[in-house]
Amino acid sequence: MSEKGSTKGRLPHGFIQALRNELGPGTRMGLNELVSRFTTLQVGGCADVYLEPSSEGELARVLNVCNVFGVHFYVLGRGSNALILDGGIRGLVIRLSHANFSAIDPHEERIHCGAGARLHQVASIAHKFGLAGMEFLKGIPGTIGGALRMNAGAMDSEMFEVIESIRYMDHQGVIVTRARQAIPHEYRNCPVLENNIALSACLVGRQDSAAAIAERMHRYLNQRKCTQPSGSSAGCMFKNPSGISAGQLIEELGMKGTRVGGVQISQKHGNFIINDRKGTAGDVLGLIQMVKSRAFEERGVQLETEVKIIGEPPQQFG
């Protein structure tokens, strides 16, 4: 186990030692660790404790320690759909980034994937084995676990269209397997995973030629390149309201290019906020509020963020 930092007395006495007692040599733990570097937007403060468990058994033991001490924990995936506030995250941040959570195992028309597996790698392996239906995953900068939690989607497809079953762990450390038909899911949300931790999934595709899969993948990537900006962002900031895309609405409001501090609304896509000048989470929140206010005042539309806002504002830190 590797470890660094200090929590400055913000956690219950004995919690850190109890946690250490459950960790093996392959586990990484950090104290008062900057979490922004694990997100694509690159803003936000520190987590009291940051942990990369090395096995499902260890994860279950960690959850038990949190339960005993009453310490809150949050599971962070690739951080591509998260806005970490500047005051950081109290308690424990868990990332399933260890190799034991990242396996990708294809078999016939199915691919078994760990929660930490990168979506672009899953898409590439599906292509290699002639499995169609997962091409849309190629350009999404996330992991299987995060994609399940958000029912991530692109190119008129979404995650649960290619899911056969998922495995998850509840907050008591019990592992459950459920078929897709038994898992409620909706646009950009899987309620079951709000209070459970995705461990793995079985994806199912359909046989097709490598050339046909490659052509669709290439077309999707080109479409992304033409319509979506590069740079530090969290992808689409708002869910699409009824009848119009959020990006189109923001463009019609004339807000492309609007800046607050170090962040601005992309000139290329109105639903992207780009961190191009070392912005803060406060800058992002300010821009979100400006957009929401304008959308409601001028069009009567109540926009809802797609990105998950996590943590504490700076005045509550320390």
State how many domains the chain has: 3
Whether residue 216 is found in the same domain as residue 271: no
Distance CA 145, CA 197 (A): 8
pLDDT at 315 over 80: no
Q: What is the pLDDT of residue 314?
A: 85
Element containing residue 271 per DSSP (H, E): none
**What tens digit of pLDDT does each residue of 258-313 get?**
999 999 999 999 999 999 989 999 999 999 999 999 999 999 999 999 999 999 99
Q: What is the pLDDT of residue 146?
A: 93
* Interhelix angle 119-128/210-227, nearest 10 degrees: 150
Whether residue 77 is found in the same domain as residue 123: no
Identify which of 130, 198, 216, 106 has the alpha carbon closest to the alpha carbon of residue 159: 198
Is there a contact between 252 and 275 (Cβ–Cβ < 8 Å)? Answer: no
Q: What is the pLDDT of residue 62?
A: 98
Q: What is the pLDDT of residue 30?
A: 96
The first and second tokens of residue 54, run together, are 């090395």
Amino acid (one-letter) located at 313: P
Whether residue 287 is found in the same domain as residue 172: no
Whether residue 220 is found in the same domain as residue 106: yes
Decide which of 51, 72, 99 is a domain's last residue: 99
Within-domain flag for 58: yes
318: pLDDT confidence band, cut at 50, 70 and 90? very low
**Rounded average pLDDT over 200-209:** 97
Decide which of 225, 243, 270 is a domain's last residue: 225
- CATH code at 147? 3.30.465.10
Q: What is the pLDDT of residue 141?
A: 87
205 sits in the region (left: phi over 0; alpha: psi -120 to 50; else beta) called beta
Q: Which residue segment(s) compose the domain that 279 sits in?
A: 231-306
Provide the H-helix boundaries in 39-118. 56-69
Helix, strand, or coil (residue 135): helix
Within-domain flag for 314: no
Residue 219, C-beta contacts closer than 8 angstroms, at least 6 positions apart: none
3: pLDDT confidence band, cut at 50, 70 and 90? very low
Whether residue 78 is found in the same domain as residue 46: yes
The model's pTM:
0.89
- CATH code at 292? 3.90.78.10
